[in-house]
Amino acid sequence: MKLDKSETFKYFKKSDRLSLKWDSYFLVYDKIFKKYKNKKIKFVEIGVANGGSLFIWRKFFGKKAKIIGIDANPYSKKLSKYGFKIYTGNQSDPNFWKKFFKKEGKVDVVLDDGGHKNLQQISTVHYTLPYIKDGGMIVVEDMATSYLKKEFYNPSKFSFISFCNKIIEFINYRSGLIKKKMNFYSKKIYSIEFFDSIAVLNVDASKCFKSSSITNNVNDPSLNEMRNSFHFQKTRKVIKDKLPFLKDSKFYNKLERKMFYRNRLLNFKENLIIKKILRNIN
């Protein structure tokens, strides 16, 4: 894979401290973090070990950025002498996060490269989300643990990827088509992006609102529901040719909608086709 143009990869290769990353991550870093370069931001990384990645972030983001590290190992405290703010604590502990944000206030980015267990990843999102600034993000790495049986006991309904599916559901609570009340997640998380083993939760409460259907009031006679029309072309033709008087009947319009657009048998047939498509994926 060509990584010679990746800026984060360049700093990774030049670092004199050990840092372990998957090679696919660097293109993602370049893409999602570019907007923060040379900005006055607070960047928090969970799981810093000997600080290899902290130096990468310092070089990438520039001098205006405050780089903060969190680790379960007290050894990481030694990195403070290089100008990093280092906290020791348990990322699954809500009390740790309360104390952390009481000292640091709101932050722009949280990058979770911690223990990768279900509870750790989910707790990080849940307890840091209230303190992410609009335009900020939560990035969770090594999401592939959601599929690993040994050590992580996945796949399961408690995995981080299952949690992400709930977040997708919450985001869609904002749709005017869905009669669901918006919760804290749907009010804060504008979008979620997925890459190879990385999830990016884009936070912006100002863009999170219940959507409404609107029109520009242009009268278009061609507008008609056609989603199921291919299944009933012959039936439509017979009705049109033999029973034209039904065209303007309210009863027929209701019946037509039930026959052509809310047909359970048709839905069952299409589900069988979908199963076949899924079976053929390799």
Per-residue pLDDT of the chain (282 residues; tens, 9 = 90+): 688 889 999 999 988 888 889 999 999 999 999 999 999 999 999 999 888 899 999 999 999 999 999 999 999 999 999 999 999 999 999 999 999 999 999 999 999 999 999 999 999 999 999 999 999 999 999 999 999 999 999 999 999 999 999 999 999 999 999 989 999 999 999 999 999 999 999 999 999 999 998 888 777 655 555 666 666 666 666 666 766 666 666 666 666 666 666 677 778 888 898 899 889 987
Q: List, as own/partner pairs, every contact residues 235-240 make where C-beta atoms lie below 8 angstroms and the sequence separation is at least 24, other chains included.
A: 235/259, 236/260
CA-CA-CA-CA dihedral for 30, 33, 36, 37, to nearest 10: -20
Classify 107 as helix, strand or coil: strand
Cα distances (angstroms) measured from residue 87 to each of 79, 80, 220, 227:
10, 9, 61, 56
Domain spans of the chain, in order of start: 7-207, 229-279
CA angle centred on 43, ends 38 and 44, rounded to 5°: 165
Look at residue 215 in the predicted model and tell me its pLDDT: 82
- The correct answer on CATH 3.30.1340.10 for the domain covering 7-207 is no
| N- to C-terminal Cα separation, the chain | 23
